[in-house]
Structure 1
């Protein structure tokens, strides 16, 4: 993509306004907290302290809107406390420009590294730097600085207290994540009726898994209906695919296929009912027709073999879904909980089968975050490049701002630090949106101030109204939020007094300077995703190979194998797949020439790897029990898959085409043993092993540019 086209695309994305579901009660609660803090500040300390405390309450409320599974009061407290520390240190050094500049560079660099801990941490840290640039101009002494910092912390405490006292839809984010996962399974079941090879996006299941991790405090208060349903949904997915796939034994047409379609439709209806019940906390209301289909006794007379096993397993899992959605634990879940309790007693650690995923407390999270940030201190790290970029840009922006004759030069570095992200599209899109929103917000707010000359109280009211609009509309588009934020800052500083006022022209020019610095910095010191695509593809190939090998290995010695390695490999391949898809989507908007992986090769190889994962998932749906007959040849194939895909991933990174001779030899040896009658065999597993090799060969053909045209109906999961 050319630079001109990339700039057009990013500008369009930054100025896009979307229709999103509004949350007025949460917005009103945040605005009320802000109004309380401003009122207390005005009543006891005056408008200047009220302005700085308002920034703390404003930022604390914004932190609670971030996509995080931690309790919202905790986010508000963390935001208020971190902003208080940042601003107090800025207050102490603000009168000494060299010292303050050194602190600013260090603080901004650490804020850039904070993206290693996730978007929520990165956004809060970046916001702290931006607000610190404004608030350090307010106090006049160390004592006043301490008062200002204390009032900023007070703003976070007030917002946290309001969340506790006036909760809005408790566990709403976790409910939505779990309901979305069940709804995705329901949609998958319905699509399988018409397309037995339909694809499934695992992202909803990944989000539900992330949402299921809770702290000990959360675990004691989590609603019963949020316990267990995710695990059942994870087990339903391969069963649905196995039931629908013609390769598992059900013909493409006929009475067997009709029965499968009925079961899939009933499964979709039950899963949708469970999703609605969990989302709203209501009892499960099942469709009578779906219940009738699941209770029809003719499944056994129509289906046999793997389809019959899949149908029976589906009925049991749907029953578990209903029980958990109603808040009653399943027998399987209770057994896992008992086993986990015994394991914890024996080892003192959390077992893999624990009744809930553990999320570290804030104190235990600190070393985790520090390790994540230290891991990014390496050449080529996109996070490190972002930290260097934003630190340099903020320092340069601050020097330019103070050297211009406008005064209050913090608008330039503030605009830069709020716009910059580790990724190209977001940085450029947000820079354009920041400039456009600033023009609208500053123009309207300054016009009101210049025309009406509002006093302290009217300015405070206008600031609260702007914050309310920000909280209400922030998810509709960055440009809308920035218009509200710019107006909020104008009114708040106007409340503090005329000494902090500026003209529209001055604020717009400084914002433009900050945005241009952000955009130039990425062009001069980029972190393009395009050159790393082959590495992402190799990671996905390696993870897919480990997953397929772990599944096939289960058939070699069923009595001696547990399923923990299969689960771990499945999670790894999901992470690798999503990382590849996100990298590919990012690379498509970068102004970088292709570097060894064409768009056609990317499409063909990801189709092949998705097919490889899909075949492994079908085999996983029929994993043998402990007393099943061993298949020794499966063990040798599993080892060949591990070695070949690890070697293949290295060859992909080195711009070579992998060869799968070792896997073919393992299959040939399997067939030779089968002809001589040596060892156990299983036609179902052997058929799946052949499909795994076909997917690997298709991957090599796609990478080499010799992939065969896709056949009608071909899909990848």
Structure 2
């Protein structure tokens, strides 16, 4: 039943139509490039030139429209260079099957590894490979192939040229978009009822990556952007502190004030995105300042204080000169530092060159897929005269565009691409029935290309319907092929899609099976990070800032991988291999976020003066280390950790140490009670995660035997824990 429900769910996803379109100006530029390519062929009276220039313009246009953190001109240039180079390489190996298949394997492996950099770069890598297989498979010879590759390059050049046309977006448009999304996320977090967990980390990651792409020489001019990223992190911490430490009696006032903070954050988001100032009404600021002044705790004052610099930086970001606008206290992560983009990308790709890596498995699977698809395509023949014999392009093209790193995307694209291609082939066959004059061919090809660009983001069904119809129409009329070959193209595509799905099922990469390892890895990072932070309350500057920052960055990366794997596992039929149910996985994802929020707050409130120190908290470092170490082993399949053990240790610790068990406001022990409250919240968050992880053993108690662990808490605190308590 799980397989059937998974197929139904992914089938629906593959056929779902979304109302997602690119910006009208982006679509208009792509259509203009396709129009210029078609007109060029008409003026030259050369159908092949027009067809190949159109192919170059449309494929590079698809790659340019794909969402990215780079400028559209950079995207177009990258696509033009990659597609043109692959087209030339394809022409050079044309007719040499013994050379073409190894080259195809190497290029496919590189395209598979390119997914390390993200979905958009991975798709652009796929599109570039199409240039290789088009020229190697469909060109009549090496010389003719090089001529065709030249026209493909011409089409990609036209796509680059039209990107230089107005309307123009504000400077650093990609970075603005990422930062605006980040502040919009903070605005939503501000009015969310859940007070336990941090807001989503994905907007922060996207903003960091977008800013990391800026070259070193342009970073000083973008100082306001980096400042906004630093302020966003401080605002997130202040929001979480407000939720955790403000008295319950002030909850109603908090709601109104947090709604006002959300309005400020929304105005900052709109200012950054548009490059035009959106002022927040003064009454909103008055409300925030009154709320901060009346609060008995520091958190509301910190939040109000953080919003003002962010608003000023947003205003500064609208000016022509963006640099030299940062105040000394503002954190500017990565402004003058950072690894160059090429070196960083190479390092990330090298890290995937291991058999256990899902990306490496995907790259190997892709190599097998495209080589087998090419052999099958050439072996099929001409479908009893309807197709072109000894050509495997259409099968290979379908396989590479369906085979994704994850199960859900692969199956969904297989459904959507197969059905869309059949419908597109039917439409192309209908369009091939009448006689088309040259101007009619130009008009029809441009209209079909426009449909591709318009429906590119709406789903696989509509995209492939339009794309198949366009490419069959253009190539068939450019090459003088008969109309019925449209049916052969549809059949080849169905074969390629089926092959991609079959390959994934034969050698799958289940996100479900990666979950225990990812969770254990994240817990091992906390095993080092939390004791370090607790020890930091012994004295001012007791922690190593560089070590803590490195651990927090690693924690964030692993948490994002874990959250992605949880999302992908929902569509997989391998739930029987999961130690936790779908509901429990959702709980784990939420509880991991809760612990991460507590870690952030502990780091944010490390003592800044001797009065803020709480040296007693260092006694919790060893119990926390032992608990998290055992919990990491339990997540990986070892003996379970008994829920409640860590909380029992903490209660005993607070009772014996004389530390305040509740928050006290306005007293000389406010800092101490605040630190204890943060520690208590951290212990509760870890205990909640412990309870859910322990459920894996109850779920599998009927048959699976957990691996033996080195330590566990079945009968209470482990040996040595009690001896470390404050007496």
Instruction: State TM-score, norm by structure 2.
Output: 0.84
Q: Which residue number corresponds to residue 175 of structure 1?
A: 176
Q: Which residue number corresponds to residue 525 of structure 1?
A: 507
SS of residue in 2 equivalent to 1:243: helix
Alignment of 1:150-299 (within 5 A): 150-170=150-170, 171-192=172-193, 196-197=195-196, 200-216=199-215, 219=218, 226-245=225-244, 248-250=245-247, 252-253=248-249, 256-296=250-290, 299=292
Alignment of 1:129-144 (within 5 A): 129-144=129-144
Q: Which residue number corresponds to residue 47 of structure 1?
A: 47
- The count of residues paired between Structure 1 and Structure 2 equals 676
Distance 2:577 2:697 in 1: 20
SS of residue in 1 equivalent to 2:107: helix
Tell whether the 8 Å contact from 1:115 to 1:121 is kept in structure 2 after alignment. yes
Distance 1:205 1:111 in 2: 27
Distance 1:5 1:502, change over 3 A: same
Tell whether the 8 Å contact from 1:38 to 1:54 is kept in structure 2 after alignment. yes
SS of residue in 1 equivalent to 2:468: helix
Decide which moves more: 584-593 or 219-228. Answer: 219-228
Question: How much has 1:583 moved relative to structure 2?
Answer: 0.9
Q: Which residue number corresponds to residue 461 of structure 2?
A: 479
Distance 2:42 2:137 in 1: 18
Q: CA RMSD in A?
A: 3.3
Distance 1:295 1:99, change over 3 A: closer
Distance 1:333 1:642 in 2: 39
Question: How much has 1:517 moved relative to structure 2?
Answer: 0.6
SS of residue in 2 equivalent to 1:326: helix
Distance 1:354 1:505 in 2: 54
Q: Which residue number corresponds to residue 109 of structure 1?
A: 109
Tell whether the 8 Å contact from 1:556 to 1:632 is kept in structure 2 after alignment. yes
Alignment of 1:522-671 (within 5 A): 522-561=504-543, 563-595=545-577, 597-599=579-581, 600-638=583-621, 641-642=624-625, 644-658=627-641
Question: How much has 1:624 moved relative to structure 2?
Answer: 2.5
Tell whether the 8 Å contact from 1:26 to 1:168 is kept in structure 2 after alignment. no
The answer for unaligned runs of 5 or more in structure 1 is: 341-351, 709-717
Decide which moves more: 21-30 or 218-227. Answer: 218-227
Question: How much has 1:101 moved relative to structure 2?
Answer: 2.3
Q: Which residue number corresponds to residue 382 of structure 1?
A: 358
Distance 1:179 1:447, change over 3 A: same
Distance 1:325 1:371 in 2: 33
2:303 to 314, 317, 336: 314
After superposition, what is the alpha-carbon deviation per residue over 1:503-524, rounded to whole angstroms, capped at 9, x for unaligned? 3321221111111111111111
Question: How much has 1:418 moved relative to structure 2?
Answer: 0.9
Distance 1:103 1:382 in 2: 23
Distance 1:700 1:379 in 2: 31
Question: How much has 1:547 moved relative to structure 2?
Answer: 4.4
After superposition, what is the alpha-carbon deviation per residue over 1:602-631, rounded to whole angstroms, capped at 9, x for unaligned? 344444333322333333443322554433
Distance 1:315 1:707 in 2: 46
State yes or no: 1:701 paired with 2:691: yes
Alignment of 1:23-172 (within 5 A): 23-44=23-44, 46-170=46-170, 171-172=172-173
SS of residue in 2 equivalent to 1:28: helix
State yes or no: 1:692 paired with 2:668: no
Question: How much has 1:664 moved relative to structure 2?
Answer: 6.9
Question: How much has 1:493 moved relative to structure 2?
Answer: 0.8
Alignment of 1:363-374 (within 5 A): 365=342, 367-374=343-350
Question: How much has 1:273 moved relative to structure 2?
Answer: 1.6
After superposition, what is the alpha-carbon deviation per residue over 1:244-283, rounded to whole angstroms, capped at 9, x for unaligned? 33xx251x23xx4444333222211211222222222221
Tell whether the 8 Å contact from 1:548 to 1:613 is kept in structure 2 after alignment. no
Distance 1:384 1:615, change over 3 A: closer
Distance 1:598 1:516 in 2: 31
SS of residue in 2 equivalent to 1:435: helix
Distance 1:642 1:43 in 2: 74
Tell whether the 8 Å contact from 2:52 to 2:155 is kept in structure 1 after alignment. no
Distance 2:362 2:69 in 1: 25
Question: How much has 1:358 moved relative to structure 2?
Answer: 4.7
Q: Which residue number corresponds to residue 347 of structure 1?
A: none
Distance 2:220 2:541 in 1: 39
After superposition, what is the alpha-carbon deviation per residue over 1:198-235, rounded to whole angstroms, capped at 9, x for unaligned? 76323223222222223227836966763422221211
After superposition, what is the alpha-carbon deviation per residue over 1:345-397, rounded to whole angstroms, capped at 9, x for unaligned? xxxxxxx8443675735xxx1x5444444433322322222222222222222
Distance 1:106 1:354 in 2: 35
Question: How much has 1:646 moved relative to structure 2?
Answer: 4.2
The answer for unaligned runs of 5 or more in structure 2 is: 660-669, 699-727
Instruction: State TM-score, norm by structure 1.
Output: 0.85
Distance 1:533 1:573, change over 3 A: same
